[in-house]
């Protein structure tokens, strides 16, 4: 007993194969009576379309290609989760590629994905190689960049401004009275670099910029590396009075190490994280962070692909800025802490 095909369904419904095909793909285009007959036959046989055959014949698959730089980074698992939410119940599926933060690897994967005629492509960030941009511009499937914002997207872009988010957080810390604010950057991927630029711009504007305050490493972010980095900071810039971290786990590590060394938060050291991954809000004292709409970004990106394939007219603008939210917590509340410690 082998898998039923369109022809089997057609025979039972007493129509031609192509009619069955149409009924399944676009029920509006057949008469109601045929639709009912066909649907009954499909039900009876438990027919499920063969996607390989469909892809081959139509030169268009139902696979959405999604390229992320990392799995270990929580941020991207959440973007993925959002995208999977969006395709739930649709005919689309997602195939993921791991670029490992390499633009060249990304280019190679884009090539590979494009050969399978994807329904859409979702890529992280805006730092593609020239060739990748060219390939993605030339393809006829929708392309969505995620996790940042730029003026000149390849096609659509969904995210928030890493530059602005960092600038706003930095501004807030300055307002709170911090002066020697360090930027702590791990991995130094393009989004972290944008954050550093936002930080720098605001520090310069306030006459507080000092290159020595930029502490960076190529190592990936983790709670452990955060702890080590506090040591580096204190030996390099002993008068540092606050840290702005490119990711929450680094901020958590720094907070733990401050506690261990009896460095008071925020009186001796202000701390601000990025992404608001869930732990910072629960600490003692709670750690300030920039909340980012990761799940929403994934959801919107996948929805753009789905809508474009259905030719649904969506918002004409191709730039979807989903914003961010600075979560002000005790770890940077210097004015409040000064007041309380009297």
Partner DNA sequence: CTGTTAGCGCATTCAC
Partner DNA sequence: GTGAATGCGCTAACAG
Residues that bind DNA (CB under 7 A): 2-3, 5-7, 15-19, 21-22, 24-25, 29-31, 33-34, 47, 49-50, 53-54, 56-60
Spell out the SS3 assignment of 61-81: CCEEEEEECCCCCHHHHHHHH
* Among positions 78, 162, 247, 292, the unique one binding a copy of itself when judged by CB under 8 A: 78
Site stretch for a copy of itself (CB under 8 A), options 12-20, 74-82, 147-155, 265-273 = 74-82
Q: What minimum distance in Å lies between the beta carbon of 118 and a copy of itself?
A: 11
Give the whole-angstrom CA distance, residue 84 versus residue 78: 10
Please, which residue, 3 or 264, has the CB nearer to DNA? Answer: 3
Q: What minimum distance in Å lies between the beta carbon of 206 and a copy of itself?
A: 33
Q: Which does 16 bind (CB under 5 to 8 A by kind): DNA, a copy of itself, none?
A: DNA
Give the whole-angstrom CA distance, residue 95 versus residue 231: 41
Rounded to whole angstroms, the maximal C-alpha distance in the chain is 88
Q: Which does 5 bind (CB under 5 to 8 A by kind): DNA, a copy of itself, none?
A: DNA
Please, which residue, 56 or 104, has the CB nearer to a copy of itself? Answer: 56
Please, which residue, 57 or 338, has the CB nearer to DNA? Answer: 57
Given a contact cutoff of 8 angstroms between Cβ atoms, the answer to whether 61 and 281 are in contact is no
Give the whole-angstrom CA distance, residue 93 versus residue 114: 15
CB crowding 215-250: b at 16 or more within 10 Å, else e: bbbeebbbbebbbbbbeebbeebeebbbbbbbbbbb
Q: What minimum distance in Å lies between the beta carbon of 59 and a copy of itself?
A: 9
Half-sphere exposure of 82 (CA within 13 A, CB side): 23
How many other C-beta atoms lie within 10 A of the C-beta of residue 145?
26
The DSSP symbol for 335 reads: H
Give the whole-angstrom CA distance, residue 85 versus residue 108: 27
Give the whole-angstrom CA distance, residue 240 versus residue 298: 37
Q: What minimum distance in Å lies between the beta carbon of 117 and a copy of itself?
A: 8
Q: Is 5 in the site for a copy of itself (CB under 8 A)?
A: no
Q: What minimum distance in Å lies between the beta carbon of 299 and DNA?
A: 26
The DSSP symbol for 71 reads: S
* Among positions 1, 28, 52, 151, the unique one binding a copy of itself when judged by CB under 8 A: 52
Q: Which of residues 219-258 bind a copy of itself (CB under 8 A)?
A: 222-224, 227, 249, 252-253, 256
Q: Who's near 279: CB < 8 A, 6+ residues apart?
A: 248, 249, 252
Give the whole-angstrom CA distance, residue 247 versus residue 229: 13
Given a contact cutoff of 8 angstroms between Cβ atoms, the answer to whether 305 and 122 are in contact is yes
Q: What minimum distance in Å lies between the beta carbon of 120 and a copy of itself?
A: 15
Q: Is 48 in the site for a copy of itself (CB under 8 A)?
A: yes
Q: What minimum distance in Å lies between the beta carbon of 98 and a copy of itself?
A: 5
> What token pair was written down for 160?
């928030």
Please, which residue, 92 or 320, has the CB nearer to a copy of itself? Answer: 92
The DSSP symbol for 180 reads: S
* Among positions 14, 18, 43, 51, the unique one binding a copy of itself when judged by CB under 8 A: 51
Please, which residue, 104 or 310, has the CB nearer to DNA? Answer: 310
Q: Which residues bind a copy of itself (CB under 8 A)?
A: 3, 48-53, 55-56, 61, 63, 71-72, 74, 77-78, 80-81, 84, 88, 93-96, 98, 111-112, 115-117, 222-224, 227, 249, 252-253, 256, 259-260, 278-279, 281-284
């Amino acid at each position: 007993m082998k898998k039923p095909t369109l022809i089997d369904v057609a025979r039972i419904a007493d129509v031609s194969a192509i009619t069955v095909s149409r009924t399944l793909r676009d029920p509006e285009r057949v008469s109601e009576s045929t639709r009912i007959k066909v649907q009954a036959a499909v039900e009876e046989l438990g027919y499920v379309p063969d996607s390989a055959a469909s892809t081959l014949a139509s030169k268009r698959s139902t696979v959405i290609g999604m390229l992320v730089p990392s799995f270990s980074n929580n941020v991207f698992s959440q973007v993925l989760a959002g995208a999977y939410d969006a395709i739930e119940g649709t005919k689309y599926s997602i195939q993921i590629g791991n670029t490992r933060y390499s633009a060249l690897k990304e280019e190679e994967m884009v090539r590979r994905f494009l050969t399978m005629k994807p329904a859409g492509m979702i890529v992280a960030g805006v730092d593609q190689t020239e060739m990748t941009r060219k390939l993605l511009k030339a393809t006829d499937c929708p392309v969505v960049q995620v996790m940042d914002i730029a003026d000149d997207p390849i096609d659509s872009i969904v995210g928030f401004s890493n530059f602005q988010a960092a600038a706003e957080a930095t501004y807030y810390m300055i307002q709170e009275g911090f002066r020697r604010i360090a930027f702590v950057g791990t991995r130094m991927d393009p989004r972290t670099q944008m954050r550093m630029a936002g930080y720098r711009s605001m520090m310069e504007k306030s006459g507080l910029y000092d290159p020595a305050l930029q502490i960076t490493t190529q190592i990936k972010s983790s709670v452990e590396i955060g702890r080590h980095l506090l040591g580096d900071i204190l030996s390099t810039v002993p008068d540092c009075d606050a840290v702005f971290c490119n990711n929450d786990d680094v901020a958590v590590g720094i907070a733990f190490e401050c506690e261990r060394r009896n460095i008071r938060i925020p009186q001796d050291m202000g701390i601000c994280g990025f992404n608001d991954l869930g732990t910072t809000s629960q600490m003692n004292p709670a750690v300030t962070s920039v909340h980012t709409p990761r799940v929403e970004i994934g959801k919107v990106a996948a929805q753009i692909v789905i809508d474009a394939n259905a030719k649904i007219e969506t918002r004409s603008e191709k730039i979807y800025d989903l914003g961010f939210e600075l979560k002000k917590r005790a770890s940077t509340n210097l004015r409040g802490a000064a007041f309380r410690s009297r």
